[in-house]
Amino acid sequence: MSELALASGMPGTGLAKKAVTITTRTWFVAAALGHWIFLAYILAVFFPPIATQGLDGLRGLHLPAGFREGEFLGNLAAASHVLLAAIIIGGGPLQLVPAIRTRFPAFHRWLGRSYLVAAVLSAVAGLYMVWTRGTVGGLAGHLGISLDGVLILVFAVLALRDAMARRIRQHRRWALRLFMVASAVWFFRVGLMGWVMLTGGVGVEFKTFTGPFLTFLGFAQYLLPLAMLEWYFRCQARPSGAGQWLYVVTLACLTGYMCVGIFAAAMGLWLPRL
Ligand code: HEM
């Protein structure tokens, strides 16, 4: 994980190139702040009860797939899943800051290894919870998040393979893809809360946590960020003025929506529980 960098070294010329860099950096700053609000919630809600009561601390939490009497392995999976989320949600954005990578390379490497291990363990624990205990939502939701879990495992292996072989350019790409899929749960919350705020929840059946919008979001939570990332790579590799401007407009609209979602998730889900 030693070569993560966003919006640095973009080839191309002129205003379009600058606009791509500024829009991507603006997206990143908003996403990083949103991640750290979610991190504050994770630290405040999950850490104190589990630190003081062990697995019994899961009992009082709002987690339908959280605590089951006498199921040690499943309870351990649930506890480690929510605790490891702190490394993934808190550490992911830090890995993408070029200044941290260049000024504190040892910290970047240490955090990169921790992030990789946390993402793999958390994905395995999440898959175990979904398919042995069930959770809210229908089959489409379960399939959507499970594919995300599989992609986390695949991208983690590919990022590690290229890092060990010192293929730094490829490693950077796989590490960025890993960030997008490991943060899918954050994109999901932000995407859902933004939608609820703007439309009142069209296509969402709140009682069963199913419906067309949730089916869409179950896959879009990582496919859309991955598609935008591939487009960003394309803007870097084969810069063309029109393509770059289209990317800028699309990312600016998505960033606007993301900011609405961050506000709605912070006010509706995270800050009230601190
Ligand atoms: C690796 C990135 C992931 C992170 C950072 C993460 C984070 C979290 C957090 C913070 C919660 C607590 C819910 C909340 O209060 O908002 C949670 C719950 C949960 N997650 Fe994840 N998650 C990740 C990936 C996954 C994957 C890949 C799966 C399944 C394949 C999964 C399945 C679950 C389940 C089943 C719950 C419990 C929901 C319930 O109690 O019904 N997670 N996750």
Q: How far apart are CA 256 and CA 27, in angstroms?
A: 9
- For residue 9, what is the DSSP state? S
CA 2 to chain centre: 19
Residue 19 lies in a domain: yes
What is the C-alpha to C-alpha distance for residues 6 and 27, in angstroms, rounded to an integer? 11
Does some domain include residue 5? no
10 — pLDDT class (breaks 50, 70, 90): low
Q: Write down the pLDDT at residue 135.
A: 86
Compute, in angstroms, the gap from residue 164 CA to the centroid of ligand 1. 29
| Residue 171 domain flag | yes
Ligand 1 pocket, residue 119 CB under 6 Å? yes
CA of 73 to the centre of ligand 1 (A): 16
Q: Does residue 220 fall inside a structural domain?
A: yes
pLDDT band at residue 4, thresholds of 50, 70 and 90? very low
For 50, how many CA atoms within 13 A lie in the half-sphere containing its CB? 21
Task: Classify residue 113: in a domain, yes or no.
Answer: yes
Assess whether the C-beta atom of 84 lies below 6 angstroms from ligand 1: no
Residue 9 is assigned to a structural domain of this protein: no
Domain count, the chain: 1
Q: Token match 């749960």: residue? A: 185
Q: How far is the CA of 89 from the centre of ligand 1 (A)?
A: 12
- Asked whether residue 195 is assigned to any structural domain, the reply reads yes
Write a three-state SS string for 170-239: HHHHHHHHHHHHHCHHHHHHHHHHHHHHHHCCCCCECCCCECHHHHHHHHHHHHHHHHHHHHHHHHHHCC
Q: What is the pLDDT of residues 107-120, one digit of tens each?
A: 999 999 999 999 99
- Contact status, residue 7 vs residue 28, Cβ threshold 8 Å: yes
Task: Kindly tell me if the per-residue pLDDT of 206 is higher than 60.
Answer: yes
Instruction: Provide the whole-model pTM.
Output: 0.94
In one letter, which amino acid is 230? E
Q: Estimate the crossing angle of helix 72-95 against helix 168-182, to 10 degrees.
A: 130
- Ligand 1 center to 101 CA (angstroms): 28
Residue 55 lies in a domain: yes
